Structure 1
Amino acid sequence: MWVVSALVIVYFVGLLLHGDGANPFVDVWLCGLTQWGPVVVFFVAAWRTHFARRDVLLAAAAVTVSAVADTYYSLFMDDSGYLVFPSLADIGYLMFYPLMLAAVVVLVRRQVRGFSWSVLLDGAVGSLGAAAVLAAILSPVLEDAIKGPTPVATAVAVAYPFFDLLLVAVITGIAAAPTLDIGPRWLFLFFGLGMLTVADVAYALLENADQYSVGNPLDAVWALGLALMALWVDGSGRNTDTSCRRQRETPPLSVPAGAVVAGLGLLVLGTQITVSVLAVVLATATVGLAALPLAFRQRLLRRESLTDELTGLPNRRALKAEAETRFKVGSGSPLTRRRSALMLLDLDRFKEVNDSLGHDAGDTLLVQVSTRLSRSLGAGDFLARLGGDEFAIILQGSGEEDALAVARKLRAALAAPFTLENIALQTSASMGIALFPDQGQNLGELLRRADMAMYEAKTTHSGHHVFKQADDSHGEVRLRTLEELRVALLDDQLVVHYQPKINLKTGHVTGVEALVRWNHPSRGLLLPEEFLILVEESGQMAALTRIVLEKALDQAQLWQTHDRAMTVAVNLSSSSFVDIDLPERIAAMIDARQLSASTLILEITEDFLMADRERARTILTRLREGGVQIAIDDFGTGYSSLSYLRDLPIDEIKLDQSFVLPMGQDPRAAALVASTIDLAHSLGLRMVAEGVENSAAYDELVRYGCDHAQGFFMSGPVPAAELDNWIANQRVEDIDDLVQVNNAGASTTGL
């Protein structure tokens, strides 16, 4: 892009310096380079996107045929810069327009389906108004073109202003749709197309007045337009993560209002001077389209105000209006409507879909979810999308048992995999239910209690929950805990405990897993399951992860200072990988403590690997190239293909405790453990068994050749000082004596 930009500047200076007439160096070589440079940029961008972006491919084809045509013109023009009209060059010049228009259509087509009628109407008004103005400007050119010496010459001459009209109409129509999101650098594309149109119009007017010649500084405007388009496609090819797109902010109705004023001005002007018939027709269509019956437009706008733009479902405003009718209580409180239930539904871990696959995939998931929910509800039920991944459902004539039956039906409907960007994704939902009129007599009360019930369902992983009076206090506890969490992150209330990993060949402690705890000022030491869900929901996982990493690496540095170097494993949630600079941040933490990068092991779950294989490969490869080790946590609990073990840079597998615990009583579980250990070793990976809670399991793992083990049989997670004492005073040969030191119980997990 730097080369292309420099060529445009040099070309413009050359045009200014050499004066009138054709100059071989400037008008052939420099001009050719300014045409072919953008072609290279376009095809590099197409290669970057694996030739999967049709808009990029069509745009690349458009600039290529234009460059071919320009090269032909430069090679075969005479000394004065003239080439017989029409020529083969005109074929390439004219092909540029339909190819470029097709690229723009492909770019916006996917979103047009979701546009409201008012947005489409405003876009059409803006397009017609801009075309009317351009038709008036090009009136002399059109009249001269129609008088061509041959039918072919006439057709070609008319085609140029016709395509310019289309191009201006499309650009203006898109500018009139402020909600259209077509990615970063969109301004470069449309300013580039605008520059090409300006150059075409100026050329046509100069040519019509017999004042144009090759070498005119106007030639540089075409080169500038192509360079701006190359800037667009370069950014588009580099940035395929739709999550960083930003919506354009165009003042509402500014473009259509300007178009109407321009159309009216042309009609008035037509009464004083001669204006082309085409311009008058387009101006009339502009004013007519803008003047649709106000009642129709008002009804249209009202309907749109009650509709969710993405899914087409009723929105929060529509829910409020519906609730006023359904949850109506008359004087003296006699019910004028039958009993009902309000269900609040929230998708589990939806944020991870957005973070891993992008907001486009998240939007697609929401549309598919809304379709399944609609099909699963009865004719009298009311479904609305409140925003984000939250839906509300009014179940008409429903008591508690009926509502629970519907909840089970909806969960079953959502259990089947969704297909997003060729990835089969399973999701689930948490549902809270509040009953009318027993648990609330208006929408506000019912929503508040359904939200408390939904949180209870999410916390207990039960899937659905009907509001109970005890949930009211839970809601207050939740809000208070959220505020206390913010304070905890700032006041250093988080501590890290360490669970040793025993090398089963030597019996020595070679590493630890760092597990976070919250040293709550009034509730004591809280385990991860008591607060991690709130951390994730409140968007504070990045801050918590940074704190745990810093504390764990500080401890690793302290152990290294005392000649007790050990690896430290830290769990990362999938939301942590949203930060594209994560590998660099971790590398900086390690370097600041003068540790070897291999000291740190990052533990991730199969869910993240399966959600977006390519994203996982990119991030893990960068981490692995920096020397950080990668482990798969809770291996065997996900429904996934084992191919990722082959494809991704992984060092270690941690077998979930659900396989280790039943080994002594279940031969099939033991066989699975043995075969998984063999699989890991055949792939050159280490195997760590979690949840070792008795000597029988420990001995079996040694016999199967497992590399490392951790669990309450050896030691639970303890503060670093206690772990140091344990390592100093205990020998693995005396491991049986440690059972009484550690309380029996399920091994804790978490970050």
Structure 2
Amino acid sequence: MQPTARAHYGRLFSGYFARSASGLAWLMAVFLGLYVIGLLVPDAGFNPFVDGWLASLLKLSLVAVCWAAVVRKRARSRARVGAGGLARFRHPELLLTAAAVSIISFVDSYSLGILIWGGAEKASPVSEVGYLAFFVLMLAVLVIVVRRQMRGMVWSVVLDSSIGALGAAAVLAVLLGPMANARGAAGANAAITAAVAYPLFDLLLVAVVVALTTSQGPVARRRWILLVFGLLVFTSSGLVFTILKTNYVLGTPLDAGWAVGLSLIAVWADASSRPDLEHTNSTNGVAALALPAVSTAAGLGVLLLASQTPVPAVAVGLAAATMALAAVPLVSRQVALRRQSRTDELTGLPNRRALYSEVSGRLAEDRSRNRALLLLDLDRFKEVNDSLGHDAGDRLLMQVGRRLQGGLPSGDLLARLGGDEFAILLEHTDQAQAEAVALALRDALAQPFTLEGISLQTSASIGIALYPDQGDDLTALLRKADMAMYKAKSVRSGHHVYRSADNRHGDARLRTVQELRLALTEDQLVLHYQPKICLRTGFVAGVEALVRWNHPERGLLFPDQFLTLVEETGLMHALTQEVLRKALDQSVLWSDQGRTLTIAVNLSGSSLVDADLPERVGAMLSARGLLPTALMLEITEDFLMADRDRARDILTRLRASGIKISVDDFGTGYSSLAYLRDLPIDELKLDQSFVFPMADDVRAAALVASTIDLAHGLGLKMVAEGVENGVAYDELVRYGCDYAQGYFMSRPLSAAALDEWLTARQSAATLP
């Protein structure tokens, strides 16, 4: 027979038993219903039909249902292997259950027959052995089920389950103590012996199963709760039987307890042999919290009861174990909270609190040792958050933390202070060694990071403070390392060791930051405009707006004196908005005077990461009634190459609204020219470093000429910056450059001075 045929017949075999077992289960339910009804009908005692025939038929149906479940599960296993080969039976609990139900059914039937014929003394040994075998087999079933349920379970669930089981067992031990003593004194029959000797152990396992079900939450295969309740009903009937002792009468409703318990066990076996239909993972949170709480209260109640009245020693021991386990989560939770309070949630590194604690301890332990505190801050980290999102920024910080940790010698301390700041305490380190570590860390961070599919390079500025020369506690060291770090940022040196002069610089920096914030709100920023001359006609085609700070004490400050600080303090967005507002307001004034000048405004990379920039600029133009051609935005190559997809999106939207795009400082950025083909650009501004040496350097002149040809070949206009003399001007005209800016034509002028310059230039052009 072919393998596929065997698999087909295996499935047919499995389906046949699924149908037949369903019929057996219904037949068992019918017998159970008739038997229970018969027991509820008052009679004079033993009823041959109910206690004899119906009871026997019910037991036979129980055995049939259990063995049919075993056969069905075996058939499904064979069907899964497909080729009819040997399939290991992976559900021994069904086999053990069928054996246990068969044994107890045989023992009950045998004992009933012996009792009817008046041989009770012969039934005692058989009943005791039979009940012992039943409980041993069901114990094995519970162990298998519980073990399977506990696979992959977290320790906290196991702990809650253990608390629940021990609490339940402690209460049961208190309840069963008097019963066991009474049974021993009364010398009840053998059936009572089995029903009382094993319930405590059996109910303890049931308590474990109930605890697992309640605590764990997931209720996939919830059907096995039938097994739990079946055992509970079965053993509870035994306990009631123990209480009644010699007052027990055959044929009363108590007999229904054993029948119902065994029926639930059989139904569980039948259901377990079928395919799983439930795979829900809902969690009963209330029950998960209530179980350990109730069990702990029960254990405490048993201990209080033991202080007032005699209680079995087993119960006291179980209650004490319950209380001990209940204390474990409290202790572990305190430990976890302490650990969490000292750990940075994002990177897993020590946080600021841990840094203070650890450094204070190390300094107190040995104050003679040379140390160094490094304060590291990522450069332009805000742009990563703004362009790629805070999730990407968080992932970058995690990668940075791992890379820093891997680059530090053993015994040194690395902590994240917050944001993109990290602190590093180096042990046994002098200045030269600290600078070497700073260089190594910067080299490690210079290797590209991969975020959102983008290869990203970052850099860091590191401030270094030396112990004990520059501070004898962490507060002083952090303050001086912070000043050194900002010095490294301002001069772009990568790292800087604190010097006394930096203290004055730090104070000046803080004061300047505050003054900058005031400048943005008190209208201290002014714009100067440098004309852009059309080399073909000599006319003024437009102007470039350049920001100046009219400082109330220091006078007019140029951009190189404050723009770096604006970037570092996150004020660039506000500054850009102010420059755009002033430039467009001036464009309105010139338009009213009949002057048509395109104003070029520089945008930094941090301004261009604003996804709403195109809409915001368009709204500013519309509010003033200006055409989009009144504005040109100048951007740098750095932004275009750092995130080309984002650049394409923003530039395309700006161009769609009619705003022109110019690339500033062309030739000084990345070497790739692919963006010239892919991105919507109108104009290139050749950096002045290429224009300055034109008159004396043939190769420089050749570069300028070839760059102009490149721009024209791509359909772009070319603007030359830094034209300082007539020679350069004439050469640019000869090379076919489109526009030029520089001191040879005009310095940047205030709006009023530019009006005078334009008027004078126009007058000179009209002279004969």
Q: Tell whether the structures are fold-level matches, with TM greater than 0.5.
A: yes
1:405 aligns with 2:400: no
Q: 2:288 aligns with which of 248, 252, 259?
A: 259
Shift of the 665–130 alpha-carbon distance from structure 1 to 2, 3 Å rule, reads farther
1:656 aligns with 2:687: yes
1:298 & 1:404 partners in 2: Cα distance? 40
| Deviations 1:649-685, CA, capped at 9 Å, x for gaps | 2111222222222333333333332222222212211
Structure 2: 5+ residue stretches without partners: 1-153, 162-211, 230-262, 299-321
1:482 aligns with 2:482: no
SS at match of 2:633: strand
Q: 1:311 aligns with which of 332, 347, 354?
A: 347
| Contact residue 357 and residue 612 of structure 1 kept, 8 A | no
Letter in 2 for 1:321: S
Q: Which residue of 2 aligns with 1:512?
A: 543
1:159 aligns with 2:277: yes
Q: 1:356 aligns with which of 381, 387, 395?
A: 387
| Deviations 1:308-334, CA, capped at 9 Å, x for gaps | 2222322212211221133349xxxxx
Structural mapping, 1:531-680, within 5 Å: 531-639=562-670, 641-680=672-711
Letter in 1 for 2:725: N
1:617 & 1:124 partners in 2: Cα distance? 56
| Deviations 1:20-39, CA, capped at 9 Å, x for gaps | xxxxxxxxxxxxxxxxxxxx
Deviation, structure 1 residue 123: 14
Shift of the 669–376 alpha-carbon distance from structure 1 to 2, 3 Å rule, reads farther
After the TM superposition, which of the residue ranges 482-491 and 441-450 deviates more from structure 2? 482-491
Deviation, structure 1 residue 289: 10
| Contact residue 160 and residue 292 of structure 2 kept, 8 A | no
Shift of the 389–289 alpha-carbon distance from structure 1 to 2, 3 Å rule, reads farther
Deviation, structure 1 residue 484: 1.5
Deviation, structure 1 residue 458: 0.6
SS at match of 1:702: helix
| Contact residue 157 and residue 216 of structure 2 kept, 8 A | no
Letter in 1 for 2:274: A
Structural mapping, 1:18-97, within 5 Å: none
| Deviations 1:497-529, CA, capped at 9 Å, x for gaps | 111111111122111111111111111111222
1:662 & 1:465 partners in 2: Cα distance? 34
Shift of the 573–138 alpha-carbon distance from structure 1 to 2, 3 Å rule, reads farther
Shift of the 300–718 alpha-carbon distance from structure 1 to 2, 3 Å rule, reads same
1:562 & 1:124 partners in 2: Cα distance? 84
Q: 1:436 aligns with which of 461, 467, 475?
A: 467
Letter in 2 for 1:501: K
1:475 & 1:396 partners in 2: Cα distance? 26
Shift of the 139–605 alpha-carbon distance from structure 1 to 2, 3 Å rule, reads same
| Deviations 1:705-730, CA, capped at 9 Å, x for gaps | 22112122222221011112222224
Q: How many residues align?
A: 505
Letter in 2 for 1:377: L
1:467 & 1:268 partners in 2: Cα distance? 61
1:408 & 1:379 partners in 2: Cα distance? 17
Deviation, structure 1 residue 265: 5.9
SS at match of 1:513: strand
| Contact residue 264 and residue 287 of structure 1 kept, 8 A | no
1:613 & 1:369 partners in 2: Cα distance? 23
| Contact residue 132 and residue 263 of structure 1 kept, 8 A | no
1:466 aligns with 2:585: no
Shift of the 426–290 alpha-carbon distance from structure 1 to 2, 3 Å rule, reads farther
Shift of the 438–497 alpha-carbon distance from structure 1 to 2, 3 Å rule, reads same
Structure 1: 5+ residue stretches without partners: 1-118, 173-254, 270-285, 330-334, 735-751
SS at match of 2:493: coil
Q: Which residue of 1 aligns with 2:418?
A: 387
Q: Which residue of 1 aligns with 2:90?
A: none
| Contact residue 260 and residue 287 of structure 1 kept, 8 A | no
Structural mapping, 1:195-234, within 5 Å: none
Shift of the 140–384 alpha-carbon distance from structure 1 to 2, 3 Å rule, reads closer
Q: 1:424 aligns with which of 434, 437, 455?
A: 455
Give the root-mean-square deviation of aligned CA atoms. 3.6
SS at match of 1:497: strand
| Contact residue 403 and residue 433 of structure 1 kept, 8 A | yes
SS at match of 2:470: coil
Letter in 2 for 1:593: R
| Contact residue 723 and residue 744 of structure 2 kept, 8 A | yes
1:458 & 1:123 partners in 2: Cα distance? 53
1:630 & 1:148 partners in 2: Cα distance? 77
Q: Which residue of 2 aligns with 1:501?
A: 532
Letter in 2 for 1:486: R
2:376 & 2:421 partners in 1: Cα distance? 6
After the TM superposition, which of the residue ranges 546-555 and 309-318 deviates more from structure 2? 309-318
2:267 & 2:331 partners in 1: Cα distance? 48
Q: Which residue of 1 aligns with 2:759?
A: 728
| Deviations 1:134-164, CA, capped at 9 Å, x for gaps | 67997889999998999899634x422xx12
| Deviations 1:272-329, CA, capped at 9 Å, x for gaps | xxxxxxxxxxxxxx99998755544444443333222222322212211221133349
SS at match of 1:663: helix
1:425 & 1:558 partners in 2: Cα distance? 44
Letter in 2 for 1:435: L
Letter in 2 for 1:260: L
| Contact residue 490 and residue 565 of structure 2 kept, 8 A | no
| Contact residue 717 and residue 738 of structure 2 kept, 8 A | yes
Q: Which residue of 2 aligns with 1:66?
A: none
Shift of the 509–382 alpha-carbon distance from structure 1 to 2, 3 Å rule, reads same
Higher relative contact order, structure no. (Cα contacts within 8 Å, ≥ 6 residues apart): 1
| Contact residue 371 and residue 426 of structure 2 kept, 8 A | yes
Deviation, structure 1 residue 495: 0.7
| Deviations 1:382-405, CA, capped at 9 Å, x for gaps | 221111111111122222222222
1:464 & 1:677 partners in 2: Cα distance? 40
1:689 & 1:289 partners in 2: Cα distance? 80
Structural mapping, 1:68-217, within 5 Å: 132=217, 155-156=274-275, 158-160=276-278, 163-164=279-280, 166=281, 168-169=282-283
SS at match of 1:692: coil
Work out which of the two has the higher radius of gyration on C-alpha atoms and give 1 or 2.
Answer: 2
Deviation, structure 1 residue 353: 0.9
Q: Which residue of 1 aligns with 2:356?
A: 320
| Contact residue 415 and residue 426 of structure 1 kept, 8 A | yes
2:334 & 2:362 partners in 1: Cα distance? 26
Deviation, structure 1 residue 534: 2.8
2:683 & 2:215 partners in 1: Cα distance? 63
Shift of the 136–478 alpha-carbon distance from structure 1 to 2, 3 Å rule, reads same
1:486 & 1:573 partners in 2: Cα distance? 18
1:320 & 1:721 partners in 2: Cα distance? 57
After the TM superposition, which of the residue ranges 713-722 and 535-544 deviates more from structure 2? 535-544
